[in-house]
Structure 1
Amino acid sequence: MKKLSLTTPAMLQLYKYITISGLSYAWVLSAMYFFVQIAHFPKQVSFVTTYALAYIFEYIVNLKYLYQKNHSIKTLVKFILQIAFFIAIGSIIFKGYCAMEIHYLISTLLTAGTLLPIRFIIQKFVVFR
């Protein structure tokens, strides 16, 4: 039986993905706080805006650093479709958490945690394939 190694290329790629996502989520939480508390934007508008900007960062970093691919229209279109899907689903999940009166920053983290593994799988096997 083959042993699971934590240093296989797939595991290293997962670690990089988690690191990139962590940086992205730090931005998301900071921007959410700014938009809601300081700029007084509605929470839902802040969520969608913040995630859209985070996804632009993630496309560039994931393309070059994580998956080491060249930009192509096909990859960009797949990424945009993935973004649209996850912003829509994430927005619904976020709204649900907020409806349960969970603080908007905690709701943001819960939404991110819910979607992170699914996003990784779709990016790895569909978008950046």
Structure 2
Amino acid sequence: MNLKTIIKNNIVKQGYKYIFVSVLSYLYVFVSLYLLVDVFGWDKQISFLLVYGVAYLMLYAIQLKFIFLGQHSKKKFIKYCVVIITFYLAANGIYYIGLQLNFNYLISTLLTICVLMPLRFIVYKYVVYKQ
């Protein structure tokens, strides 16, 4: 195998793992939002902020060890925090716009996921967890 093939295969494997972890994370997001908003009657925006915040915190360790097979370092964690704050703000902005367009809160969540998921993978791979 040449280097180009090895790199391509690694990106594909990481991509599949990223999608798997993301799907589990988003299941958590959807179920938690449903419970907080529809079952417990919490505010949609507050619920979204809380649920996404918890999800992002859990994802650091999972992505580091399972997807990108890296070791924890202060530098990686700081980069992750900066990136995650940026994506957290972007997610809340997209979600808010969806609500303002009268989308159902779950549809607004799906829109947010579809826009940000591929961008996060690229930033995580080439910025945060770069070896």
When normalised by structure 1's length, the TM-score is 0.92
Q: Which has the higher helix share?
A: 2
Say whether residues 1:28 and 2:47 are aligned partners. Answer: no
Q: Which residue of 2 aligns with 1:80?
A: 81
Q: How does 1:28-107 map to 2 (within 5 A)?
A: 28-107=29-108
Runs (4+) off by over 2 Å: none
| CA displacement, residues 51-109 of structure 1 (integer Å, 9 cap, x when unaligned) | 11111221111000101111111111111111110111110110001111111011101
Identity of aligned residues (%): 36
Matches of 2:81 and 2:40 in 1, distance apart? Answer: 27
| Higher deviation after alignment, 8-17 or 35-44 | 35-44
Code of the aligned partner of 1:115: L
Root-mean-square deviation (Å): 1.5
1:116 Cα deviation from its structure 2 partner: 0.5
What is the number of residues matched between the two proteins?
A: 125
Q: Measure, in 1, the Cα distance between the counterparts of 2:114 and 2:37.
A: 21
CA distance in 2: counterparts of 1:39 and 1:60, whole angstroms: 30
1:69 aligns to what SS in structure 2? coil
Hey, what does 2:13 align to over in structure 1?
12
Per the alignment, residue 112 of structure 1 pairs with 113
